[in-house]
Structure 1
Amino acid sequence: MRDASCLGSALVLVIAAGSCLAAPAQSPDRIEFASHRAVYDLKLSSARGNRPVEAVRGRILYDFSGSQCEGYALQFRQVSEIDAGEGVRMMTDMRATTWEDAAAKSFRFNSQNFVDRKLKSAVDGRAEREGSQVDVNLSKPSAKAFAIGTRIFFPTDHMRRIIIAARAGETLLEAPVFDGSDTGEKVYDTLTVIGQAIEPQTSAPDDAAAGDAQLLQMRRWPVTISYFDKSKAGGDQTPVYGIRFELYENGISRALALDYNDFVVAGTMTSLEMRPAKPCE
């Protein structure tokens, strides 16, 4: 069974903040991310494999703020209790904070993974896009500096590109993504599959999104992102993990399904607090 804390960092790519209004006349390449705080309740959806999980319960807290002027800051926490049967239980607690500038040239990341309330790993570092490469400097888990390819997307920029592709009617997006997860050195190859747009008048949400008048007037898309280990190239690869969700045109996500290969966890949005965006000075 995979350590469930591994997927928390991937969610930082997915549950991105949204704009205040759906604006049909805006540029197709312009995405206005707005501040919000969302809560998602987690429970087991299905289990498979040789070591089936019997139950999962937990919660995601997601707090996003920022603008194109000041960059985007995130505070994220995912706590899960996993019952593997026969008296075997595990509590995972993944905490992360990140900051990314709107030009996708600078990315700072800090995370801690706890298992049964004991710290198992910690990562702290920053990545800077300079010329033909992205330079990464880590202070945790140990001091290290290295370079990765220039065509690497940071999390918020990756989400922006998914929304642009969806608006254009595209169904596939392949992109290498660096989010500072694992030991802070891993780059994932990702494949995003975008379904047909869901118009607001055809299907209303049945979670906390239903309480926001703006979201009720926005279209959304069913999206699946599969993550592959970039270091294992060649042949038919099995995703390390995957995420399914409905993505609003403003960037907010609902109806999560977190696929850890051995089991799938459903995430229901139970609370959503929209915050006014700060105007650029």
Structure 2
Amino acid sequence: MPEPFRIMGIVNVTPDSFSDGGEWFDEAAAAAHGRELEAEGAAILDVGGESTRPGAEPVPKDEELRRVVPVIEALAAGGTEAQISIDTVKLAVARAACEAGASYVNDVTAFRHDPELAGFVADADLDCCLMHMRGEPRTMQRDPRYDDVVSEVKAFLEERMAFAVAEGVDETRIQLDPGIGFGKTTAHNLELLRRIDELVALGRPVLVGVSRKSFLGTLTGRPVGSRVAATVAANLLAFERGATIFRVHDVAPLRDALTVAAATLRAP
């Protein structure tokens, strides 16, 4: 029986990501890290060359290409069985990444930054993830407010999915991400996790990205590198409520936890 979840391992090729910036900035180190994440159970490897942490500055296209393309080429040439994802908002980067071996586009702007990216995803028959974000990384955490965060995120994702389908994207290729930590307070993040089933009701796989994020530090008082247990707990709660894709830095402990949870929930 296939596993009822997929883990997306994070391969940051950046000097400034909030958790592991600079750790895998070297091409060979990043590719080796991706292979390690696959060995631990990652079904998707998400390669990104532009940090989306709060306050992050945009990265020029040529620099982003220089960072990610060699890593994707190395992973593809190494015979990885994991699906390779490109975490980008730029059409030119997505095109080059897919030529190098990626087959999944993870766009934190849900095709708002570069609307033509939707047509490329459609024409190339790629998988994609559409994420909710209030504002942009530089501004998203400046006093975010919602009347009902879940209803507003759901309406946004429904609208962006309709746009993608209108541009030719096969609906079965679309996954949805509520954007935990992207223009949300701790209370907003917890409400999204509590009511994730309302987003699952849109009918597409829901991806959750809570790995090591600051709201977990707010709750536990632990620094970034010590939030593995909190990350696992949040993902298990999301899984129980219907989320099926989990984007994390620490693949092995989450895979073990999800395996036990899946066996328990499936048991008669």
TM superposition score category, shorter chain reference: 0.3 to 0.5
Of Structure 1 and Structure 2, which has the larger fraction of its residues in strand? 1
Of Structure 1 and Structure 2, which has the larger fraction of its residues in helix? 2
Q: TM-score, normalised by structure 1?
A: 0.35
Structure possessing the higher relative contact order (Cα contacts under 8 Å, 6 or more residues apart): 1
Structure whose alpha-carbon radius of gyration is higher = 1
